[in-house]
Amino acid sequence: MVYADVMNIKRKIVFVYNPISGSRRLIPVLPIIERFVNRDLYDYSIVSTEYKGHATELARKYAAKQYDAVIAVGGDGTVNEVGCGLIGTDTALGIIPCGSGNGLARHLGIPMDPFKAVKWLDKSIFTEIDYGMMGDQPFFCTCGVGFDAKVSDSFSKAGSRGVLTYLESIMKEIATYHNETYKLSFDKSSETFEAFFITCANADQWGNNAYIAPTASLQDGILDVIAAHPFNVVDAPLIAFQLFNKQIHKNPKVSVRKCRGVTITRDSDGPAHYDGEPVMLGKEIHIEIVSRGLKVLIPDRHRGI
């Protein structure tokens, strides 16, 4: 792991914020940035996204200008867009989490409070993390098919954001959802089974401290592939408890495989998701890991990523 101390050199950074991210508008975050960013350490600017995909364009623009970091101010969707624009560059991704799940920020140990998140930049360090590819779409936390993809699609169409809206989407979809049959093809083996969902994880959680892959690392060059086999209402409370207590991999209804890549084959086209963003894909989906392809800023106290 390679670290760089940002304390001794004044660096150029830009905050890219999404004004409609999360459960509330982000305008109150801007005064926090303006007041508490350390001007002795950073030359900074703030820009707003205006449409889907704009954050990726902005990230590429500032990376081409050799900025030291682009700070995503928003949720997992904004973080994904900024990260996509920084892959393979020397410009680091930073995060001020303001979304509903904040999966990557939580794994990296970034504070959820915007004030604390701005202040941690003063003692941040650079490192590199893996990222995943689902077809030609990069992801940084998780991607998958099945129930969580259906919920992501429903959540994206809801009129509001936040944890309550997400729970409402779960209740809406679970009433009519049916398990599907999947074939998982690895380098030297394959498995076919019925499953509630299949998640491919680079980071350890979906977000909101729901740890779908407790043993996942952002720096091991490995995907954690989690399959939830069919279960009934009696199993649900234990699964939910284990999900939020880093024990889901111990449940007999859950299988975990570690690999560098996997091809998921299902019976028909349908929904999938990357970092919580819904997308419609075909019957066959190839997913793989790319080692140490993204530079990020993390709190200097946080080593175990």
- 143 SS3 class: strand
The whole-number pLDDT of residue 172 equals 64
The whole-number pLDDT of residue 4 equals 43
The whole-number pLDDT of residue 146 equals 92
The residue ranges of every structural domain in the chain are 11-131+293-299, 137-291
Q: Give me the half-sphere count of Cα atoms (radius 13 Å) on the Cβ side of residue 222.
A: 14
Query: What is the CATH code for 137-291?
Result: 2.60.200.40
The helices-and-strands tally (H runs, E runs) of the chain is 8, 16
pLDDT averaged per 10 residues in sequence order, the chain, 305 residues: 52 93 65 94 96 97 98 95 98 93 94 94 95 98 90 62 59 73 95 96 93 96 96 87 94 96 96 93 98 96 68
- 83 SS3 class: helix
**CATH classification of 11-131+293-299, choosing from 3.50.50.60, 3.40.50.10330, 3.40.50.1860, 3.30.450.40?**
3.40.50.10330
The whole-number pLDDT of residue 269 equals 95
| 8 A C-beta contact, residue 93 and residue 82 | yes
Give the Cα-Cα-Cα angle 262, 266, 269 (nearest 5 degrees). 115
The whole-number pLDDT of residue 20 equals 78
The whole-number pLDDT of residue 173 equals 58
The whole-number pLDDT of residue 302 equals 60
N residues, the chain: 305
